[in-house]
């Protein structure tokens, strides 16, 4: 499918190094997904259109800027056995350092710990602990914090119209201050936004993952300096069960959170229509200075943990609309449990940021080519049989509620 692409003057940075890939691949819920995605981006030749940004590894003190002491101490206990001791502010890993454990030993790192202390901190069930979890958390959080630090550096330069920074290994929006949740061991998004706050006064956070961005909203729901906007599936029993239509912040931050809860089977036409309508209102009244977008790929049709009928083409229409704002923006990953679809989606979004059109055929020289069968196609089609449980009345009710809150609580540029 051909898409008309404008050719704006844009700086695009891509967060990557080998250590980040190796660590991101260790999350038990998405094991190997980071490498799969990076390989496809490289196979399409997109790396030559971006500047490589080498991420730093965050420190104990960095994590403590959001997560509490007791939880971070639990993470420290899960350092790789080859590490002797972790000092509070000097966790340093050489970029070229390789994990000395064998694959069999690495497999043994993925083990549930069902002691009371670990369940108290969310480390069990959907967030099992493993040896080396500390290195994983520091690498993943460091990737997003590095992206946000670079946006502070380049986001207000006058030599280009817009700065875009991409980090597909980030986007873990469920982690709470005191515990892990929903496959998320660290809330790299909150840590990154705190970095942005040192430079930008008003930040817009957009969450398009199929699940509500509860951890991020809760972190900023009492402030006007961060506006959170989440479109997500919301039904009885659907995780995490937050983000209802009336959930719009607290205290001085009342009105500075917007939630658009849709039902199963939402179509691209409706999703894009209401996303653009709401975002236009938010941009007009809040006038953000920077934007962070969580692009969870579980919003794409065919994901085992989602239930939408959305395709990458639908989401790209929304992302084009975001890019038209010309705000300095960080794009992050998130959910996405059909790994090849996540790879397809993020590769297409990377191309969109770079204003590059991609052929539909997966490059035959991609290392993981056979995983994209049986059609070996980049694009994903909507289901012809999925029932859309969203009525126009419900979608209008959601949109009007958000618009009313923007007016009722006098949301404005502070």
Among residues 196, 198, 176, 178, which one has the least CA distance to residue 187? 176
Task: Tell me how far CA of residue 164 lies from CA of 80, 327, 339, 346, in angstroms.
Answer: 34, 9, 24, 14
Give the span between the Cα atoms of 146 and 308, in whole angstroms.
32
Give the span between the Cα atoms of 70 and 7, in whole angstroms.
49
3-state secondary structure of 242: coil
3-state secondary structure of 283: helix
Give the span between the Cα atoms of 398 and 103, in whole angstroms.
49
CB 154 within 8 A of CB 133: no
Task: Tell me how far CA of residue 303 lies from CA of 208, 317, 326, 344, 383, in angstroms.
Answer: 14, 20, 31, 13, 12
Give the span between the Cα atoms of 240 and 409, in whole angstroms.
26
* 249 dihedral zone (left: phi>0; alpha: psi -120 to 50; beta): left
212 assigned to active site:
no
Among residues 15, 16, 18, 20, which one has the least CA distance to residue 135? 20
Q: Which is the catalytic residue, given 173, 174, 211, 212?
A: 174
Torsion of CA 25, 30, 35, 40, to 10 degrees: -170
3-state secondary structure of 262: strand
Q: What would the two tokens of residue 370 be?
A: 């056979």
- How many other β-carbons are positioned within 10 Å of the β-carbon of residue 82? 12
Angle at which helices 312-323 and 268-286 cross, to 10°: 20
CA torsion through residues 96, 99, 103, 109, sign: negative
Q: Which 3-state string (H, E, C) describes 7-30?
A: CCCEEEEEECCHHHHHHHCCCHHH
Helical (H) or strand (E) element with 291: strand 290-294
Angle at which helices 33-43 and 339-354 cross, to 10°: 40
Residues annotated as part of the active site: 174
């Amino acid at each position: 499918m051909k898409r008309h692409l404008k050719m704006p003057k844009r700086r695009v940075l891509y967060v990557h190094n080998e250590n980040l890939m190796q660590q991101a691949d260790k999350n038990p819920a998405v094991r190997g997904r980071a490498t799969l995605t990076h390989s496809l981006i490289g196979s399409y030749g997109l790396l030559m259109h971006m500047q490589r940004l080498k991420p730093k590894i965050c420190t104990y003190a960095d994590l403590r800027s959001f997560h509490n002491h007791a939880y971070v101490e639990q993470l420290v206990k899960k350092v790789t056995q080859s590490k002797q001791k972790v000092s509070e502010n000097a966790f340093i890993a050489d970029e070229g350092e390789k994990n000395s454990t064998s694959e069999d030993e690495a497999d043994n790192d993925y083990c549930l710990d069902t002691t009371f202390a670990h369940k108290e901190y969310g480390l069990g069930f959907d967030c099992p602990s493993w040896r080396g979890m500390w290195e994983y958390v520091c690498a993943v959080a460091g990737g997003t914090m590095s992206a946000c630090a670079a946006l502070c550096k380049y986001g207000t330069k006058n030599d280009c119209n817009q700065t875009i920074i991409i980090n597909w290994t980030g986007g873990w929006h469920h982690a709470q201050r005191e515990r892990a949740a929903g496959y998320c061991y660290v809330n790299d998004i909150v840590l990154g936004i705190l970095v942005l706050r040192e430079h930008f006064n008003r930040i817009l956070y957009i969450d398009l993952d199929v699940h509500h961005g509860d951890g991020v909203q809760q972190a900023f729901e009492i402030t006007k300096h961060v506006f959170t906007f989440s479109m997500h599936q919301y039904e009885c029993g659907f995780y995490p069960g937050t983000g209802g239509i009336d959930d719009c912040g607290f205290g001085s931050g009342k009105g500075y959170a917007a939630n658009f809860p849709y039902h199963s089977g939402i179509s691209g036409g409706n999703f894009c229509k209401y996303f653009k309508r709401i975002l236009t209102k938010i941009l007009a009244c809040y006038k953000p200075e920077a934007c962070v977008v969580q692009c969870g790929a579980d919003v794409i049709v065919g994901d085992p943990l989602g239930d939408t009928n959305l395709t990458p083409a639908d989401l790209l229409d929304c992302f084009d609309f975001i890019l038209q704002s010309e705000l300095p923006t960080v794009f992050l990953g998130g959910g996405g449990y059909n790994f090849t679809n996540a790879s397809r989606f993020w590769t297409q979004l990377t191309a969109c940021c770079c204003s590059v059109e991609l052929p539909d055929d997966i490059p035959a020289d991609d290392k993981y080519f056979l995983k994209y069968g049986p059609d070996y196609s980049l694009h994903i089609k909507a289901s012809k049989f999925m029932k859309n449980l969203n009525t126009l009345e419900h979608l209008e009710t959601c949109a009007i509620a958000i618009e009313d809150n923007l007016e009722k609580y006098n949301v404005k540029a502070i």
